[in-house]
Structure 1
Amino acid sequence: MALVTTKEMFQKAYEGGYAIGAFNVNNMEIIQGITEAAKEENAPVILQVSAGARKYAKHNYLVKLVEAAVLETDLPIALHLDHGEDFEICKACIDGGFTSVMIDGSKHSFEDNIALTKKVVDYAHERGVVVEGELGQLAGIEDDVNVSEEDASFTKPEEVEEFVARTGVDSLAIAIGTSHGAFKFKPGQKPELRFDILEEIQRRLPNFPIVLHGASSVSQEYVNIIAQNGGKLDDAIGIPEDMLRKAASMAVCKINIDSDLRLAFTAGVREHLMNNPAHFDPRQYLTQGREYIKALVKHKIVNVLGCSGAASK
């Protein structure tokens, strides 16, 4: 099986009332942990790469690692660019083997966002690649994405039909209360998703795949492990998983998960090194990080995304 696009994935997800996990990858162990979990759960999966990951691991290394995961698992896997900020990075990923790209023009005016998104869509569609656009801005910090609470804005439902019609995007990322990073909310602030906005967007864009960014739940288990082994993340608060499952049963076909992976991997490595201070073989401590990634992803597939068994449907 070769890398696939998200088009058929999303159609099945919409009809089936589940979402596909879009997991950010940075190295071999993270890719292995994600795809081993997906294989055991027979779940389709999106492996996505940020601009920061491309700088760190290099484009060609990541593409070949993902291609190796396809050979190892024989699963439907899409390779996606997360938060492409301009036409040039989208073009480089399209030309370099990605099957899906996101162009994030949300910081621009509505008209400039449309113009930029359409330019990417035209180039991508000519080459069989699908495109995700974005309306509205999520607060938070993650890699090169840094939006203050003051600059964050919910997606306006009255804009979505025009945006999709004029750009031709294949999916749309919206802002309904999720946030990038592990530190999503102030102490005492209750996480809440604006399902009224999602419902109105679903009404205006029937059968159209919606995407949620910043949807890590920040498992207290991993926060505690890190804290017990020399770290401190006491005020990390994520999105409740029951809210994400509800969104996945509606129009949301893709849920992005990054911070949870970082927490799980770091917890595994920290725990191993604290318990085995004499170990200096990366294969030993990275193995535990990989196993924590695998356990996390299996949990997400079964309890949040609802896509276990969907790879063969």
Structure 2
Amino acid sequence: MSPVLQGLVTIVIGVASCVAYFFFSNMILDKVLFPPRGENAGRNINRANQWRPWLFMFPAMFVLGLYLVYPVVGSFWRSLFNRSGDEFVGLGNYAILFNSPEFQTAVFNNILWLIFVPAASTFLGLLAAQLTDDLKWGNIAKSLIFMPMAISFVGASLIWKFVYANDFDIGLINAIRGLFGAEEPIDLMQVPFWNNFFLMVILIWIQTGFAMVILSAALRGIPEETVEAAIIDGANPFQVFFKIKVPQVMSTIMVVWTTITVLVLKIFDIVYTMTGGNFGTEILPSYMMTFMFRDDGRATAVAIVIMVLTLPVLWWNIHNARKEMR
């Protein structure tokens, strides 16, 4: 069967299955379990209405449980065993991790990514949103800034490999250094500590367009009356931007910030493509991959650590979303 035909068959079967599930489950609920007749008709109708939301949520809850909850529980249980999975070691894998210099380096680098990338992406996105809204050719500028979002992380990494290349003829940065009299090219990926920031620039380049689009919509939603009142009161453009506009879009800024933060915790492609985690650029996902095929217990322990680090960010995002709904 061709992929196109297989996709169409899958869509037809999937849609038909959903329709059949909701039709027959409602029929069983209304005509078999709680029929609206007899002395208990009113009570049965109320009971059916109480069960109906759970009936509609069951497919999603089942899929989440099967593909999210079960793997998490299974991964945690697997992290309590040794390399071959035949000996229970408890928290031994976690103790080895936290005493490992490579793991400590990975955690430190992840913290650098968490601090620098969301802050820089959000700030540059906000700045681009404000500046492009005031330009006649702003839509063209927005398209150019957003364009990296259409490139995969691996593709973006390959593009920036040419920028960072250790060659005066190919590497853009080394070519610029050569114009200023540099005698030898340098491999930026092997510069200790700073090579992490060179990798972060790639993700910032990609995510600035995302932040710009979301924040541009938020800035356009600011009531003009507040801006005009501030101008009449003598506020300069910087005061209007930082004291009038930014506070009104702060909730959107936090959403963008947390979204990019969650993405940073999952980043792997850029580091793996550019350095493979070498030269002090190891992060938790790439560190996990070093054990994936030779020590499953320790690899799943790293995965659990990544999940635990992600939970506070997700909680903060959900907390802010609920606060806005009140």
Shared fold (TM-score, shorter chain, > 0.5):
no
TM-score by length of 2: 0.23
More strand by share: 1
TM-score by length of 1: 0.24
